[in-house]
């Protein structure tokens, strides 16, 4: 019975000491950070593009009438 507990303990310890999944988690965090940065950046770019179109519309409206 004691050997079975030791065997179980050894298996659990091996699971916790493995590092294969660590790389995957790091890559997922990097991808999430890039996605967050892109989302924030797109909001700024969209606002700038909107302001440019508004100024073009204003300029065209002033010259057409």
The pLDDT tens digits for 9-37 are 888 788 777 666 677 788 889 999 999 99
**Could you tell me what percent of the chain has a pLDDT over 70?**
89
18 within domain boundaries = yes
Q: Is 23 exposed, middle or buried (0-12, 13-18, 19+ CB in 10 A)?
A: exposed
| Predicted TM-score of the model (pTM) | 0.47
pLDDT at 20: 64
Q: Is the pLDDT of residue 42 over 80?
A: yes
59 within domain boundaries = yes
- In angstroms, the CA 30 to CA 42 distance is 18
Domain limits for position 38: 6-64
Number of domains in the chain: 1
1 within domain boundaries = no
């Amino acid at each position: 019975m004691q050997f079975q507990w030791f065997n179980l303990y050894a298996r659990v310890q091996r699971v916790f000491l493995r590092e294969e999944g660590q790389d995957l988690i790091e890559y997922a965090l990097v991808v999430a950070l890039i996605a967050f940065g892109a989302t924030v950046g797109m909001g700024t770019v969209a606002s700038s593009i909107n302001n440019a179109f508004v100024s073009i519309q204003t300029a065209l409206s002033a010259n057409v009438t």
